[in-house]
Each structure stands twice: as structure tokens, then as C-alpha cells.
Amino acid sequence: MTLPEAPLRNVPIDRIDFDDRRFQIRLDPRSGNLLDSLRRDGQLVPVVLQAQGGRFRVIDGHRRCEVLRRLGAENVRAMALPVSDAEALRLAFVFNHARKTLLPVDRWNSLRRMAHDLGWSNARIAEATGLHADSVSRLRRLFPDMPLVDEGLAEGWLRPSHLRALRSLVPRDRWPAWLRRIREERMPGRRLYEAVAAAERRREPPYVTREPDGVVIFRGFRFAPATADAREMWRAIAQYDAGMDRVRSWLRRSGETRK
């Protein structure tokens, strides 16, 4: 994939809009040991900015820009690109993906935003990012597509720790109730783990059975692969995913580990 080229320049830090984070795809923007590195060695890696007249938005390098501002830097070394919002969001993913530093939850968030903010289909996302279509589909299914998830991420009360706890412990049909509780109680991730473990402790795992004629039963939903239409296939996938989530949850609560 060919990335855009632009000459490096020194951009005054007071011309960067730090409040506009529309291209930030990392859900956890903590800087880690970046402060010590920039204080000791200075800025070694340029950031990528979207040029908007005389102002700039950060495409790649949010944490570097934030730390440089905290250190009192007057300028940042940057590649400034006059690109559209859609192209800037795509580049935010591509630059991070090229460095292989994105966590799965961040990859999911970037694709979620391309689908929701830009209205792109999975095929369009695959074409734009260079991912295989199957990879896009798997990442899109990593967490359920729910309005409360979008609301929580936008408003900041839903964090990666919440998503990981829900995915590992809660069947998807009970996500809405837990999401509402997280929002109303402003529940931190650690307390969510404890609350879910207590509430779900006595629930039994679901069962997937196969009949002699090849029909599969997912938690009461009968699925016949030989005659199923597309809608039934997608419903079977959803039932199976929910079932596997419950099995993993049950195993964790029962103390079982993979041998």
C-alpha cells in the first residue's frame, strides 16, 4: 500500500487542536514511558497531521504531541497532509497497523468507526486498510454492535477493561443490562469483573448438540446447514458465538483451565 508523501516541517504546537480527537483510534491513550524517552532523546519519530487551513488535527502521534506539549515544546516535527476526514481516519489505522502496535480492541474500534462514521461496508474497509475481508469480519464481530457500546465509547464511561470483562464473562444477550449498569454506576473495570462473577456464578453453560441427520442445535435454535438460508446462517453464527462466550465464562468461574 502506497502512503502519501509530504515534506517534514516544524509545526507550532499551539496550532494543533488537541481537543479534536476524531482520528484517535486507541481506546487507552496513556503515554507509558514516552515521557522519559522524549525528555531524554527528543522527538525521533515525526507525527502525522491533517492540515486544515492554518490549523492541524492529529492523525498519528496523539501521545507524542501530548507529551511534547507537557514538556513545553514550541514545535513538533510533522508530516502535514491536506486530506479529507475519511482519508485521515483510514491513515490513522494504516500508520498504526504498519507498526503492529494496535491491540485487538483498538483494531476493532478503528473498523467500527469506519463503519459507523463513514458508512463503509466490510468490503470497502478491507480495500481501504489492506486487510483481508475475513479479518475485517472477524474484527467487526469481536464485540457486539450495540448503540450503548457506541455511546459509552463516545462519552468515555466505557473503557477497554469493561469490554474485555464483558467479552470474557457475559453472554451477548445480557450485555445491554450490564452496559446500563456500567453507565449508571460509573463502574470501573475491576469492580465490573467482581460484580459479573458474583451475578453469573450459578448460571450453567449452554449446550451445542448435533442430531443424527446433521442438524445442529445451538441453545434451542435448530440449524440445518443443508437447507439454511443466509439469515439462518447468520443467526446460527450469533447463537454459536454467544454459546462459546458462555462456555468460556463458565470455565473461568469454575476454575477450569486449558490443559
Task: Say whether pLDDT at 133 is over 60.
Answer: yes
Of the candidates 114, 183, 191, 184, the one whose C-alpha atom is nearest the C-alpha of residue 149 is: 183
CA separation for the pair 80, 51 (Å, rounded): 6
When the pLDDT of each residue in the chain is averaged and rounded to a whole number, the result is: 82
Which pLDDT belongs to residue 204?
A: 46
Of the candidate ranges 15-19, 37-41, 168-172, the one whose mean pLDDT is the lowest:
168-172
Which pLDDT belongs to residue 212?
A: 64
Which pLDDT belongs to residue 103?
A: 83
State in Å, rounded, how far the first CA of the chain is from the last one: 41
Of the candidate ranges 98-102, 137-141, 217-221, 243-247, the one whose mean pLDDT is the lowest:
217-221
Give the model's confidence band at 259: pLDDT under 50 very low, under 70 low, under 90 confident, else very high: very low
Kind and range of the H or E element at 69? helix 62-70
What is the number of helices (H) and of strands (E) in the chain? Answer: 11, 7
Tell me the pLDDT tens digit for each residue of 146-200: 999 999 998 889 998 899 888 878 888 889 999 999 999 999 988 998 888 777 6
- Pair type for strands 47-52 and 75-81: parallel
Output Rg (C-alpha) for the chain, integer angstroms.
22
SS3 47: strand
Which pLDDT belongs to residue 68?
A: 92
